[in-house]
Structure 1
Amino acid sequence: MNSTPALVGYTAVVGFAAPYLLLRARWLHRVPALAAAAWHALAVSFSIGVALSAASLALPAEHLHTGLVDLLHTCGLDMGAGGPAPDTANRLAVGVPAAIGIALVASFAFHGARARRARAQHREAVDLVGRHSPRLRATVLPYDTPAAYCLPGRHPRIVITDAAVRRLTPEQLVSVLEHEQAHIAGRHHLVLAAVEAFHSVFWWVPLARHTRAQTALLLEMIADDRALRSHSYEALATAMYEMAAARTPKGALAAGGSNALIRLKRMLGPRRALHPVLRGAVAAVAAAVPLLPLLVACPPHLG
């Protein structure tokens, strides 16, 4: 049985319909880490679906499963003397998915390297102009606008302007620094490079656009929650308000920025924990979604 229509249909649903359904979910901002995992699960599932769809379209209908066995070794079909010999279609069935995978890996490497270069250049400038504060464990930059951001990577820096040091209270200041430390500890720059790579390859798909935008917002919320473990909502919220207009250098992650208003509303609004059953169900679905294209392409044989 040719599963190509089902596989192409599934991939289209994930790429074009699923993001709008997920955006309507009310729990996204309540559990940002789980929400980010859900977006990434959809991205992985879509990528696998596209690769398998390309493989299945390159093969004659009667050779579909044979090609998938050669590609993934998951179907376990009999490949005896009666099986088809390798031909152009079989090579395309392997080559096209491989090209998609290579494109994603190359794009990730490109975006990661570009961001790393931008951070290195900015780090050199910050080290020349700023002064290291052992008390804050950050570099203080002479600037008349309150701002704070981090330069993650092998040689991370937390940068804060002297205007922020003057205007923020001690608790506000420490909460902002904790927010930036969360970005560094969580290696959020790698997550952003991954979603940038996915967007670069599949820029025409709504899932890619929304995954990039939502991941950037959710990572900020994850860092907010880390800071809120030991500091009050009011301290972080007022600090974010002070720094909302600050600009963020390329490759950096900042406590303020364009999504500050959404985060402020979340922070100061009613806080309700997600029900454990719903949390577990979402986590299970997120873990299973990347495997669904394989099940569609290679349905289990009963009997």
Structure 2
Amino acid sequence: MNAALVLVAYTALVGFVAPHLLLRADWPHRAPALAVAVWHALTLSFALGAALTAYHLFMPMEHAHEGLLGLLHSCGLDLGVGGPDPGTAGRLAVSLPAALGIALAGSFTFHVVRARRARSRHREAVDLVGRRSARLGATVLPYDVPAAYCLPGRRPRIVVSDAAVRELTAEQLAAVLEHERAHIAGRHHLALAAAAAFHAVFPRLPLACHAREQTALLLEMVADDRALRAHSDGALATAMYEMAAARTPKGAFAAGGQTVLIRMRRVLGPRRAAHPAFWGSMAAAAAGVPLLPLLVACPLGVG
């Protein structure tokens, strides 16, 4: 039971405390790609911690009163099994973590497939209504509001409105198109699907709620940074402002949207790159955090 208690404490720390600490930090907006990796590492660590907690709670251990079933039986709660049956406890110890893994994998598959179907339907409509522009590398739609978005996946599309083509300057439009190419090249839709899948399984968990919200915001910042490599901050910020009110379909990434004000302040404000030493330490932490539940469980479980 020692391993189970430590794992419970660790999982609670990751699920409830770590998200608030990360939200209060200022470095994620300076290194958004690294911050996305840290958020996802925390979700993976929480899932492993929860699975290992269930395993150690129910798996019969020597001198551990046959796991959680034995502890409940000693308190007068036999759960209808008539005592701490090692076979029942062993089956629960394996089936509960497996059920959690299946739920997460199934939720991820569901979100990926649902978004792919929505993008596919919209892609067909775009191909019918819009006109392909080889010069822009995008499909131009008749729409009287400046807008731009991408449909990632196997057959990606970048879509811009004819109002955006008319009203944005050449540099502004080029910055927007580069922003959308970053979403497609980075396969950002998969990161969003993973965050949404975790939230669907743990809907009330602070880590799940904040990871989903922050992943969407940080991925937009990642795409902004790629656009800023070749274009001025003023051009990108102005283009975002012009497209702030545009609507985009489900499953698409838009250069405008609800996060425009946060991103505009970041683009126009002073930007300091994360120190290489800090970047390296946080990257190592992101890689190591998912392994912590295993390091916590194994020594205590053996002992």
Fold conserved (TM > 0.5)? yes
1:268: Cα distance to partner?
0.5
CA deviations 1:124-162 (Å, max 9, x no partner) are: 111111100010010000000000000011111000000
One-letter amino acid of the counterpart of residue 118, structure 1: A
Conserved 8 A contact 1:2-1:61: no
Match in the other structure for 2:181: 181
Match in the other structure for 2:43: 43
SS of aligned partner of 1:121:
helix
Question: For residues 38 and 116 of structure 2, what CA distance do their matches in structure 1 show?
Answer: 27
- Match status 1:57 vs 2:57: yes
Question: For residues 255 and 301 of structure 1, what CA distance do their matches in structure 2 show?
Answer: 49
Conserved 8 A contact 2:149-2:253: yes
Question: For residues 190 and 35 of structure 1, what CA distance do their matches in structure 2 show?
Answer: 16
CA deviations 1:267-303 (Å, max 9, x no partner) are: 1011111112211111111111101101111127999
- How many residue pairs are counted as aligned between the two chains? 285
Higher mean displacement: 234-243 or 275-284: 275-284
Higher mean displacement: 271-280 or 9-18: 271-280
1:62: Cα distance to partner?
2.9
One-letter amino acid of the counterpart of residue 98, structure 2: A
Normalised TM-score (structure 2) = 0.90
1:187: Cα distance to partner?
0.5
Match in the other structure for 1:231: 231
Cα RMSD after superposing both structures:
1.9
Conserved 8 A contact 1:19-1:210: yes
Conserved 8 A contact 2:58-2:92: yes
Conserved 8 A contact 1:107-1:197: yes
Conserved 8 A contact 2:150-2:184: yes
Conserved 8 A contact 1:2-1:62: no
CA deviations 1:82-116 (Å, max 9, x no partner) are: xxx97121111111101100001100111111101
Question: For residues 301 and 89 of structure 1, what CA distance do their matches in structure 2 show?
Answer: 16
Normalised TM-score (structure 1) = 0.90
Match in the other structure for 1:94: 94
SS of aligned partner of 1:140:
strand
- Match status 1:164 vs 2:161: no
- Match status 1:259 vs 2:259: yes
Question: For residues 124 and 63 of structure 1, what CA distance do their matches in structure 2 show?
Answer: 64
Match in the other structure for 1:190: 190
Higher mean displacement: 268-277 or 215-224: 268-277
Question: For residues 62 and 25 of structure 1, what CA distance do their matches in structure 2 show?
Answer: 44
Match in the other structure for 1:291: 291
One-letter amino acid of the counterpart of residue 116, structure 2: R
1:61: Cα distance to partner?
4.7
Question: For residues 174 and 150 of structure 1, what CA distance do their matches in structure 2 show?
Answer: 14
One-letter amino acid of the counterpart of residue 277, structure 1: A
One-letter amino acid of the counterpart of residue 157, structure 1: R
One-letter amino acid of the counterpart of residue 19, structure 2: P
Deviant stretches of 4+, over 4 Å? 300-303
Question: For residues 60 and 24 of structure 1, what CA distance do their matches in structure 2 show?
Answer: 41
One-letter amino acid of the counterpart of residue 193, structure 2: A
Question: For residues 142 and 103 of structure 1, what CA distance do their matches in structure 2 show?
Answer: 42
Question: For residues 120 and 227 of structure 2, what CA distance do their matches in structure 1 show?
Answer: 26
Question: For residues 233 and 20 of structure 1, what CA distance do their matches in structure 2 show?
Answer: 30
Match in the other structure for 1:245: 245
- Match status 1:208 vs 2:208: yes
Percent identity between matched residues is 71
Question: For residues 270 and 37 of structure 1, what CA distance do their matches in structure 2 show?
Answer: 24
Going from structure 1 to structure 2, the CA distance change for 1:63 and 1:192 (only over 3 Å counts) comes to farther
Match in the other structure for 2:105: 105
1:204: Cα distance to partner?
1.4
One-letter amino acid of the counterpart of residue 224, structure 1: D
Going from structure 1 to structure 2, the CA distance change for 1:63 and 1:234 (only over 3 Å counts) comes to farther
Question: For residues 194 and 187 of structure 1, what CA distance do their matches in structure 2 show?
Answer: 12
Structure 2 unpaired stretches of 5+:
68-84
Conserved 8 A contact 2:2-2:300: no
Higher mean displacement: 269-278 or 221-230: 269-278
Question: For residues 250 and 176 of structure 1, what CA distance do their matches in structure 2 show?
Answer: 19
Conserved 8 A contact 1:148-1:256: yes
Match in the other structure for 1:17: 17
1:24: Cα distance to partner?
0.8
Question: For residues 202 and 131 of structure 2, what CA distance do their matches in structure 1 show?
Answer: 42
What does 1:126-145 align with in structure 2 at a 5 Å threshold? Answer: 126-145=126-145
